[in-house]
């Protein structure tokens, strides 16, 4: 699987200001010093908590109404399939129009849909097909929301704080993931899942208000891209021509189909294996989010972005899932889920950072839409597939498959990159800390110019330098 050489009418990659040393602990939350980002991040924490509440309530109510794990997978499919088909259109919108306006429209729409779910649930009229339909329309909202949200972060903080803000966004998402499932589990047991939907509707309203409070004068605005033919194809060529975009996207595709269906599997473990009920399901989601928060915060400590680090994180997650399939009880399974969450977010955050930092701002909406399409669209396929496997093969074997495929893909991609980079793998079993290491092949020198040797750069991407250095123009 080899990306074609870059052809390019695509925009050049602009110089990027990045650090060369590990940032001090005092800089872990540096992007929060920016007022606009503080407002956005605060509202985002509330919104993400409410989204997690709704997701857990939605999945559990489908399982309760239908008694089928496959039905939970179908719900996932309905919510994510619009991304698989239409996400590039969202990227074009993000490049052409105001990101803040797009987010205000999408969050308002999501609030209306959440309110409709709440009314149906609280009046006792909610049926499985209602959840399917509303999940599909929420998926359409995501098509416009996600590319704009990803690119808007750059307008809030500027390029110098982009990596930090991406990591903090992931941390916020996981903090919401820690709080939301636990609250949702309590609400479902105490008063019913309808109140979780109502909470999300309120959170969407608050998000719209917060977007109105952001100061336009302080935004690092990007010039809108004028309407023209071939803009989507331009984004595709740009992504395929850059190894630091192409290979993370390939890994993300496999990761999404198999590894990101963990919520479906945890529902089966909580309901069928450990008999832990809704509270147990909420607890498992919280434990995954706890580990993921650690992974997201850990990503703020890295001074370099490397493809090998991205692949290692993905492979590690796969190995951890295979270990989870052997867990004899809820306690052990929950402990392994913390590690799984850490590895998962380490991959997702570092891959997101690498893709964004490798992309020029004038085409970033389209590139990120393609990346998100792969990531979310993969979940649309994987949710139904893993639900079916869990129901027909057993949840333990489904978990083995969910872990084995990302681990295998990471190994294969690593070998392909090593071959293209003229590298070889050597073993030194006397070195306990690094028994496996990669070195240049003795018979072939390695090119060192990133601009002239993009294939080698894909395999052994050097530290991204700064402040004076930058990713060379392509």
- Is the model's pLDDT at 260 over the cut of 60? yes
Q: What is the mean pLDDT of residues 97-125?
A: 92
37 - beta bridge partners? none
Which residues contact residue 298 at a Cβ distance below 8 angstroms, ignoring those fewer than 6 apart?
Answer: 342, 346
Confidence of residue 140 (pLDDT cuts 50, 70, 90): very high
Higher per-residue confidence, 129 vs 443: 129
Stretch among 176-180, 355-359, 380-384 having the lowest mean pLDDT = 176-180
pLDDT of residue 430: 60
Residue 55 in tokens: 């997701």
- Is the model's pLDDT at 208 over the cut of 80? yes
Higher per-residue confidence, 328 vs 439: 328
pLDDT of residue 113: 94
Phi, psi for 278 (deg, rounded to 5): -65, -35
pLDDT of residue 1: 44
CA 455, 404, 254, 346 torsion-angle sign:
negative
Confidence of residue 435 (pLDDT cuts 50, 70, 90): low
pLDDT tens digit sequence for 367-376: 888 888 888 7
**Kind and range of the H or E element at 425?**
strand 423-427
Q: What is the pTM of this model?
A: 0.66
Residue 312: name the closest of 251, 269, 221, 254 by CA.
Answer: 251
Stretch among 19-28, 168-177, 345-354 having the lowest mean pLDDT = 19-28
How far apart are alpha carbons 245 and 383 in whole angstroms? 25
pLDDT of residue 284: 86
- Is the model's pLDDT at 156 over the cut of 50? yes
In the chain the domains, ranked by start, together with CATH numbers, are: 27-220+231-420 (1.20.1250.20), 421-465 (no CATH)
């Amino acid at each position: 699987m080899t990306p074609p050489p870059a052809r390019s009418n695509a925009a050049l990659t602009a110089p990027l200001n990045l650090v060369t040393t590990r940032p001090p602990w005092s800089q872990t939350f540096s992007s929060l010093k920016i007022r606009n980002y503080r407002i956005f991040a605060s509202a985002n924490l509330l919104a993400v908590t409410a989204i997690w509440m709704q997701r857990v309530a939605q999945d559990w109510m489908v399982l309760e109404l239908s008694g089928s794990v496959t039905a939970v997978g179908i719900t996932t499919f309905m919510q994510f399939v619009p991304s698989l088909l239409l996400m590039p259109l969202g990227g074009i919108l993000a490049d052409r129009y105001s990101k803040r306006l797009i987010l205000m429209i999408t969050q308002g729409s999501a609030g209306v849909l959440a309110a409709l779910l709440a009314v149906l649930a609280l009046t006792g009229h909610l049926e499985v097909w209602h959840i399917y339909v509303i999940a599909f329309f929420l998926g359409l909202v995501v098509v416009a929301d996600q590319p704009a949200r990803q690119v808007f972060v750059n307008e809030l903080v500027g390029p110098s704080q982009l990596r930090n803000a991406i990591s903090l966004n992931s941390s916020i998402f996981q903090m919401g993931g820690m709080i939301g499932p636990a609250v949702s589990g309590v609400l479902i047991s105490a008063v019913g899942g309808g109140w979780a939907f109502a909470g999300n509707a309120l959170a969407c309203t608050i998000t719209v208000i917060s977007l109105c409070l952001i100061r336009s004068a302080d935004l690092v605005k990007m010039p809108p891209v004028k309407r023209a033919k071939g803009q989507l194809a331009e984004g595709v060529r740009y992504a395929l021509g850059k190894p630091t975009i192409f290979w993370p996207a390939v890994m993300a595709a496999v990761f999404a189909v198999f590894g990101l269906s963990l919520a479906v599997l945890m529902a089966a473990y909580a309901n069928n294996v450990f008999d832990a009920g809704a509270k147990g399901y909420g607890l498992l989601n919280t434990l995954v989010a706890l580990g993921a928060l650690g992974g997201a915060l850990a990503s703020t400590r890295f001074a370099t972005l490397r493809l090998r680090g991205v692949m290692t994180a993905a492979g590690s997650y796969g190995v951890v899932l295979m270990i989870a399939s052997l867990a004899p009880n809820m306690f052990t399974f929950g402990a392994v889920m913390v590690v799984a969450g850490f590895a998962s977010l380490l991959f997702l955050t570092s891959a997101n950072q690498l893709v964004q930092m490798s992309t020029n701002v004038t085409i970033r909406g389209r590139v990120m839409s393609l990346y998100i399409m792969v990531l979310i669209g993969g979940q649309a396929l994987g949710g139904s597939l893993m639900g079916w496997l869990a129901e027909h093969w057993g949840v333990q074997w489904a978990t083995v498959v969910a872990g084995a495929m990302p681990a295998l893909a990471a190994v294969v991609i690593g070998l392909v990159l090593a071959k293209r980079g003229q590298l070889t793998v050597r073993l030194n079993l006397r070195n306990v800390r690094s028994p496996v290491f990669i070195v240049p092949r003795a018979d072939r020198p390695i090119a060192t110019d990133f601009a002239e040797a993009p294939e080698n750069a894909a395999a052994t991407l050097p530290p991204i330098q700064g402040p004076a250095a930058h990713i060379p123009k392509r």
